[in-house]
Amino acid sequence: INRIGHYISVIILKALGYMCIHPDDPPISLFGLPRVVKDVEDLEYIFSAGPDINNGLTLCTGSFGAINNDLIEIAERYSDRIHFAHLRNVTKQEDGSFYEAEHLEGDVDIIGVISILIIEEKWREKIGRVDINIPLRPDHGHLLLDDQQKECLPGYSLIGRLKGLAELRGIIRTIEYMGVDSAA
């Protein structure tokens, strides 16, 4: 992690654009290799290495949601640094393992996270930031219907991800309709 701190402090902050570091997936050590971004402590290190707002985060609800992180706290605490969101859900097991869940099922409070993202977008607009919108995508989809006969990368099925996108858009529209805008 020391190398990434040096990279951020020297190189990234001289570049034009946004860095959106993605948490490790999975957030557990594989074959003894250390993880770089798995929790708040790692995010604090990375953001202190480059305090500029352009040094940001891809909020992956699956990666951060797979261990004992408070995903709502992470989304609230770093909302101004979220430049992209991968929205997926996982179900945690007692032994620390996890598996992919439907977007509206599982242990991740996906509605709470989306509410925070919408509030942040309204805040960005109010204060005049140019990066008002936080792009998002449904991350990982189950194999449904025709997807089961196609060769595709695991988690990146067409119909399963479209189903996830429809569910996420439904959440967004409902939140907007209900008027969640406490930051505006």
pLDDT bracket for residue 12 (50, 70, 90): low
pLDDT, mean of residues 51-73: 87
Q: What is the pTM of this model?
A: 0.85
Residues 6 or more apart in contact with residue 25 via CB below 8 angstroms:
60, 62, 63
- Delineate the domains of the chain, giving CATH numbers in brackets: 2-139 (3.20.20.150)
- pLDDT by residue (tens digit) across 146-174? 766 777 666 666 777 888 889 999 999 99
Active site residues: 22, 60, 86, 139-140, 156
pLDDT given at position 13:
63
Q: Which strands sit side by side in the sheet containing 136-138, from one edge to the other?
A: 19-21, 55-60, 82-87, 136-138
pLDDT, mean of residues 120-142: 90
- pLDDT by residue (tens digit) across 63-108? 888 778 899 999 999 999 999 999 999 998 888 788 888 889 999 9
- Dist CA 147 CA 152 (whole Å): 8
- Decide which of 25 and 99 is more confident: 99
Is 23 in contact with 69 (CB distance < 8 Å)? Answer: no
pLDDT given at position 184:
43
Residues 6 or more apart in contact with residue 163 via CB below 8 angstroms:
103, 141, 142, 144
Indicate whether 48 pLDDT > 90.
no
Token pair of 173 as six digits: 């529209």
> What is the residue-averaged pLDDT of the chain?
83
